[in-house]
A and B are shown apart, each in its own frame.
Chain A
């Protein structure tokens, strides 16, 4: 069991991880989800003892990673973002010539070598081809049967497919943490039906509003071709009832689309800067949390700058290597 309490890590003035706390229970697969630069790798590096924390504690099976590092590290196998392979170590074949996918496999093998209780994988499927991604995913599932697995990713389907629990991180803070199903129901309990109608929008809206199941109707008549869009909020799929109501009231419905917010929407919603683009689907509790977060636009600009620097550095490094 890993307990993280009020973990903070600063790089100079920039706060990469801001006072996060969570608990990792034994025998489950956890997914760290967040956009690039959200603080996933930093958190993992601190949990594994590769980085020192500015403040806060990490306890692995009761041993503090900073006070009793040897005991704590014995429980953990770690695959960092770049598989840490020594190119001059050549057991059977030249590691230098291995492709990224094989390097990743050797890296995972290295991580589970000591049969640790917890396996931590940082972006295990980045840079792999689709076939390898499926293989690695299956491998992670197998690992999850005997070990506690923590993996990070910025790709949502991966996390939702493999993980039991999802922890969404954005700008160094945990914005959501639950199982995939719970996240969906927590953030979007409603179903939204978009209906495009021809004719009198107000009459159509009134007709729809009379239905018991309908919670809210909005009219969007921005289109100038004589059509209007109704955005109807309800608990369940009520397309059949809507169709009946339209026929009864002589309203011409051209199209009807059901949209239930996917995990993707939630992810975008809780991590995106452009909150306004997603209004209408926002669960109330979440919108408060998010808008409070994005008041700190300064930090967000900072992230962009840091990422720009990182990209430049990378570019320079690669061109240097090319010169050699």
Chain B
């Protein structure tokens, strides 16, 4: 894992990618810090993180687009596969390297509140919770986009698809209003979802039996809930979607409540997508 990590990290900074990403992120954060803290003289530095969170929508797709997409095109996937490395070493090595790039702007902006505290009252607990939340949110988004990068062989497609996925997630709150929440519609959508989950399991594991079992179990559970407690199903979709909305949850932290469920959501997103990435990488040997 160490070698992959070093190689990837060096990869970000032999070209301009790493420098430009860092510069853009720091400039955006600097502008907001200037407007909020210097012009308007607010002491709530956490809102700088809250307002620059949208920059992650550009930062993360560019950070992850070349992770796996180009390997196949350049033939370097053969090298990774033939080296004595575990698939998890490859995925985690690359993932941690990108986390370092993500962590650098967090580290630098972490110095600002210390300087600002000379001139006003800073609530350090909230500020550093917001900073860590920013990093965790970025890490979760990075895991999602890394997975997307694995699914295509073209950097540009990886970046665009990642951007669209993050954009949808960003506006999820508004979009969920348009999702029907009647009992019938919810049931139909849930059945479709079960089928999609089954297909994903099948695609990732190449195990049709497992996919069938998962789908059937989920369907049975769905039927059971529908019969016993129909009101649970009603309007469940918008609820679920609101719960997995990564960006919106972050604002809880910015507004000062360090919600454990948010941290759990981010961490489980990271674990889930790293796991899926390892599975897909393993599966690619069959293609």
- Whether A80 touches B14, Cβ cut-off 8 Å, given contacts A51-B285, A73-B82, A86-B7, is no
Q: A176 → chain B, closest Cβ, in Å?
A: 27
User: In the bound complex, do residue B11 and residue A73 qualify as a contact, i.e. CB atoms below 8 Å apart?
Assistant: no
User: In the bound complex, do residue A86 and residue B76 qualify as a contact, i.e. CB atoms below 8 Å apart?
Assistant: yes
User: In the bound complex, do residue B82 and residue A88 qualify as a contact, i.e. CB atoms below 8 Å apart?
Assistant: no
Q: How large is the interface on B (under 10, 10 to 19, 20 to 34, 35 or more residues)?
A: 10 to 19
Partner pick for A88 among B14, B77, B83, CB 8 A cutoff: B14
**Cβ-based interface call for A37 (8 A):** no
- Whether A82 touches B11, Cβ cut-off 8 Å, given contacts A50-B285, A70-B84, A73-B82, is no
User: In the bound complex, do residue B7 and residue A48 qualify as a contact, i.e. CB atoms below 8 Å apart?
Assistant: no
In the bound assembly, the distance between CA atoms of A184 and B15 in angstroms comes to 54
The residues of A that contact B14 with a CB separation of less than 8 Å are 88-90
- Whether A50 touches B11, Cβ cut-off 8 Å, given contacts A80-B75, A83-B75, A86-B76, is no
A46-70 contacts to B (CB < 8 Å)? 48-52, 69-70
A-B pairs under 8 A by CB, number: 63
The residues of A that contact B85 with a CB separation of less than 8 Å are 70, 73
- Whether A80 touches B285, Cβ cut-off 8 Å, given contacts A88-B15, A89-B7, is no
**Cβ-based interface call for A110 (8 A):** yes
Q: B198 → chain A, closest Cβ, in Å?
A: 22
**Cβ-based interface call for A250 (8 A):** no
User: In the bound complex, do residue B78 and residue A87 qualify as a contact, i.e. CB atoms below 8 Å apart?
Assistant: no
The residues of A that contact B81 with a CB separation of less than 8 Å are 48-51
User: In the bound complex, do residue A110 and residue B11 qualify as a contact, i.e. CB atoms below 8 Å apart?
Assistant: no
**Cβ-based interface call for B125 (8 A):** no
Interface of B is mostly: helix
**Cβ-based interface call for A84 (8 A):** yes
**Cβ-based interface call for A78 (8 A):** yes
In the bound assembly, the distance between CA atoms of A49 and B86 in angstroms comes to 11
Chain A contact residue count (CB 8 A cutoff): 25
Q: A52 → chain B, closest Cβ, in Å?
A: 4
Q: Per-position contact with A for B63-96: 1 when CB-CB < 8 Å, else 0?
A: 0000000000011111101111110000000000
User: In the bound complex, do residue B76 and residue A84 qualify as a contact, i.e. CB atoms below 8 Å apart?
Assistant: yes
User: In the bound complex, do residue B74 and residue A84 qualify as a contact, i.e. CB atoms below 8 Å apart?
Assistant: yes
In the bound assembly, the distance between CA atoms of A90 and B285 in angstroms comes to 28
**CB-based nearest A residue for B286:** A52
Q: B10 → chain A, closest Cβ, in Å?
A: 7
- Whether A84 touches B78, Cβ cut-off 8 Å, given contacts A52-B285, A89-B10, A89-B11, is yes
Q: A103 → chain B, closest Cβ, in Å?
A: 10
User: In the bound complex, do residue A78 and residue B15 qualify as a contact, i.e. CB atoms below 8 Å apart?
Assistant: no
Between A and B, 18 residue pairs with Cβ closer than 8 Å are A49-B285, A50-B81, A50-B285, A51-B285, A51-B286, A52-B285, A69-B84, A73-B85, A78-B79, A80-B78, A82-B75, A84-B74, A85-B74, A86-B11, A86-B74, A89-B7, A89-B11, A89-B14
Across the A-B interface, give the 9 residue pairs with the lowest CB-CB distance, nearest first. A82-B75, A84-B79, A50-B81, A73-B84, A80-B78, A78-B82, A48-B82, A84-B76, A52-B285
Given contacts A86-B76, A87-B74, A90-B14, 4 further A-B contacts (CB under 8 A): A48-B78, A48-B82, A80-B79, A84-B79
